[in-house]
Amino acid sequence: MPGTGNFAIYPSLEGKIVIVTGGASGIGEAIVEAFVRQHAQVVFLDIQDSAAEQLIHRLTSDGSPAPIYHHCDLSDIAALQQTVAGILAKFPDVAVLVNNAGNDARHTIAEVTSASWDRSISVNLKHQFFMSQAVIPAMEKAGRGSIINMGSISWVIPSKGVPVYATAKAAITGMTRALAHEVGVHNIRVNCVMPGAILTERQKQLWFTKEYKAEILAGQALKRMIMPGEVASLVLFLAADDSSAITNQSYIIDGGWV
């Protein structure tokens, strides 16, 4: 089945330091696994301690290099900066940052408050900028790097029931382009990945009703569900030297929905 963990091998990623946010479950879990299979040194941030421990156990049970987990609430920028400073003290040569963490909780226009707006923007957008800001100096010193921001097709379709989330994800596309031009002179690449409806456990448990699945498949050119590992495969390519001339771009992976 597509996207189940049979990843292409990119020699340029072996031994590279990779930071992944929201790496304990869903698409982030697949991304962590994908880089571990490249024999990269993966450091991932999340708040799901149990899920993180289970992931580490699963990945190391076959002798793969152990990823390192840091509990970090990314909406707390001071904690984020402190955590990244600690990571860079141990691994100053960070080569890849994957800004994956997010939360697509459903909400109506009427129920959005100033506080809930700030929470959604913080969880889905703000930390991506500050994670990038925190690692860019190390990448500048190394003279290379790849930052991959996780966007969404939610603002392109457009989606209903996620107006603030869609706003944040649209902003990520603009932020990606702005950062790419700021840091390109240092050979740092910045790209965006825009997934469609990806069949993660969270999506299955919370949103994937029979009716919603029918809507997805009706809209997609490919009449099957897209798996987390397929998103991870795209992230690997954008992190590897094989994409060394690619920056400032946003890549849709949605089975042809858009």
Parent domain of 28: 11-253
- The enclosing domain of 70 has a CATH number of 3.40.50.720
Residue 145 DSSP SS3? strand
* Cα distance between the two ends of the chain: 23
Q: Among 202, 205, 246, 200, which Cα is nearest to 225's? A: 200
What is the pLDDT at residue 202? 83
pLDDT at 2 over 90: no
Q: Which pLDDT does position 92 carry in this prediction?
A: 97
* Tally of structural domains, the chain: 1
Evaluate whether residue 6 is within a structural domain. no
Q: Please report where in the chains the tokens 């970090």 appear, as a residue.
A: 72
> Does residue 223 sit within a domain?
yes
In a domain, 120, yes or no: yes
On whether residue 5 sits in a domain, the answer given is: no
DSSP 99-135: E---------TTT--HHHHHHHHIIIIIHHHHHHHHH
More confident residue, 3 or 159: 159
- pLDDT tens digits for 14-39? 999 999 999 999 999 999 999 999 99
- Characterize 43-59 residue by residue with b for buried, 16 or more Cβ atoms within 10 angstroms of its Cβ, and e for exposed: bbbbebeebbeebbeeb
Residue 5 pLDDT grade (very low, low, confident, very high; cuts 50, 70, 90): low
Whether 258 is in a domain gets the answer no
191: helix, strand or coil: strand
- The Cα 149–Cα 162 span in angstroms is 19
Span 186-224, pLDDT tens digits: 999 999 999 999 999 887 887 788 998 999 999 999 999
For residue 1, pLDDT beyond 50: no
Least confident among 62-71, 119-128, 130-139, 235-244: 62-71
- For 3-12, 68-77, 233-242, which range has the lowest pLDDT when averaged over its residues? 3-12
1 in any annotated domain: no
As a whole number of angstroms, the distance between CA 241 and CA 230 comes to 19
Residue 19 lies in a domain: yes
Which pTM was predicted? 0.96
Q: In this structure, which amino acid lies at residue 15?
A: G
CA dihedral angle for residue 113, residue 104, residue 202, residue 23, rounded to 10 degrees: -110
Residue 4 belongs to some domain of the structure: no
Q: Tell me: pLDDT of 120 over 90.
A: yes
As given in the structure block, the two tokens for residue 204 are 């299955």
Catalytic (active-site) positions:
165
Per-residue pLDDT of 123-169, as tens digits, reads 999 999 999 999 999 999 999 999 999 999 999 998 999 999 999 99
Q: Which of 94-98, 116-120, 200-204 bottoms out in mean pLDDT, i.e. has the lowest? A: 200-204
Give the mean pLDDT of 67-83: 98
For residue 185, the model assigns a pLDDT of 98
Q: How far is it, in rounded angstroms, from Cα 235 to Cα 19?
A: 12
